[in-house]
Amino acid sequence: MKASVVLLPGDGIGPEVVAEGKRVLEAVAEKFGHQFEFSTHPIGGNAIDDFGTALPDDSLAACKTSDAVLLGAVGGPKWDDPKAKTRPEAGLLALRKELGLFANLRPIKTHAKLLDASPLKTELVRDVDILFFRELTGGLYFGPSGRKPHSSGEEAFSTMLYNTEEIARIVRMAAEASKTRQKRVTLVDKANVLEVSRLWRQVTTQIMAEEFPEIAFDVVLVDAMAMYLVSRPRDFDVVVTENMFGDILTDEGSMITGSLGMLPSASLGSSGPGLYEPIHGSAPTIAGKGIANPLATILACAMLLRHSLGLENEAVAVETAVNRVLDQGYRTADISSGGPSIGTREMGDHVLKNLA
């Protein structure tokens, strides 16, 4: 197979982890006889510095004509001024919107050998395997917002806005995915308070009853879900929720596995290239030191192979290689629980060795 992959290393540790992801994709191409063509483009804070915008036109154009996009991370203290004209995050949000990536898949899966890395009790996190579907192009992130003068100073508003179609398409995608898993879907909302959540509940309940009668379906309020994620995470299979709830819950969920450094994500639309990224941020305090954990990015590459290129065997090969490396005891600092650790490049080397 021939495929073009756009690399968007971004800021902070982004370039270091994307370099390892690229090496893994190259090794997969070699081993399985594919041809992957790579091109690298700016996004985020460095793009603001060089081009005055977090998502230069050329970067967006390259993404649009690619088969898949691998992103590192955007942001850092250098671009955190609240008065700045634009922020690195704006580049990521624009990319999601422009590529129509309405579904953000975030698997929260514990590894048997890494249970100690979790701040939660081992017996609680063993065998957790949750797949979050976070809505990604609607809600508070994209609804009408603004500021106006107020007698006390200013007044600001952000609006959570969803229509039937925006809800239906991600619910269908989540329910489809649950068919090859435990056949359970949980909707997370705040329907006891928010009108927009009542629409989510109405649309989701109807779709699940009419189109997916064989899938078990339940509903949990978002505040309760925040508790359940740390008290009984094993009870969930596929979870679907709106943009901001999903943002918060998936960061919380990542702690079940112990390290943000282990978690990949895929952002998909109904057609066109998908966007793959580690869910950790740019980690500016460790940037450039060569100690970042590349496994989330490498696992994101597995998702890229699976979801955008349809290469299931290749995806499994990468995931198996990562599992082996962990079984062999290799750890970067973030998952070493204070024990011996190796660097980013070395970790990449071990994955490559196991892939071969």
Question: Annotated active-site positions, please?
Answer: 141, 190, 223, 247, 251
Taking the C-alpha atoms of residue 356 and residue 353, their distance in angstroms, rounded to an integer, is 5
Beta strand ranges found along the chain (DSSP E): 2-10, 35-40, 68-73, 103-109, 129-135, 145-150, 153-158, 184-189, 216-221, 238-241, 264-268, 274-278
Give me the count of residues in the chain.
Answer: 356
Q: How far is the CB of 47 from ligand IPM (least distance, A)?
A: 14
Q: How far is the CB of 259 from Mg ion (least distance, A)?
A: 15
Q: How far is the CB of 159 from ligand IPM (least distance, A)?
A: 17
92 touching ligand IPM, by CB under 6 A: yes
**Binding segment for ligand IPM among 14-22, 88-96, 328-336, 346-354 (CB under 6 A)?**
88-96
Q: What is the CA radius of gyration of the chain?
A: 20
The partner in contact with residue 89, picked from ligand IPM, Mg ion, none with C-beta cut-offs of 5 to 8 angstroms by kind, is ligand IPM
Total of residues contacting Mg ion (CB under 5 A): 1
**Binding segment for ligand IPM among 10-18, 87-95, 162-170, 202-210 (CB under 6 A)?**
87-95
Total of residues contacting ligand IPM (CB under 6 A): 4
Among 242, 247, 277, 314, binds Mg ion (CB under 5 A): 247
Which structure tokens are listed for 3? Answer: 């495929």
**Binding segment for ligand IPM among 86-94, 179-187, 292-300, 347-355 (CB under 6 A)?**
86-94
2-10 and 68-73 beta bridge pairing: parallel
Q: Give, to the nearest 10 degrees, the angle between helix 164-178 and helix 195-211.
A: 50
Alpha helices in 179-294, H assignment, sequence order: 195-211, 222-231, 243-257
89 touching ligand IPM, by CB under 6 A: yes
Q: Which is nearer to ligand IPM, 97 or 234 (CB)?
A: 97
Which structure tokens are listed for 176? Answer: 């489809």
Among 20, 135, 189, 247, binds ligand IPM (CB under 6 A): 247
Q: How far is the CB of 251 from Mg ion (least distance, A)?
A: 5
Sheet holding 184-189, edge to edge: 35-40, 2-10, 68-73, 274-278, 264-268, 103-109, 129-135, 238-241, 184-189, 216-221
Q: How far is the CB of 170 from Mg ion (least distance, A)?
A: 17
Q: Which is nearer to ligand IPM, 62 or 101 (CB)?
A: 101
User: Applying CB under 6 A, which residues contact ligand IPM?
Assistant: 89, 92-93, 247
User: Applying CB under 5 A, which residues contact Mg ion?
Assistant: 247
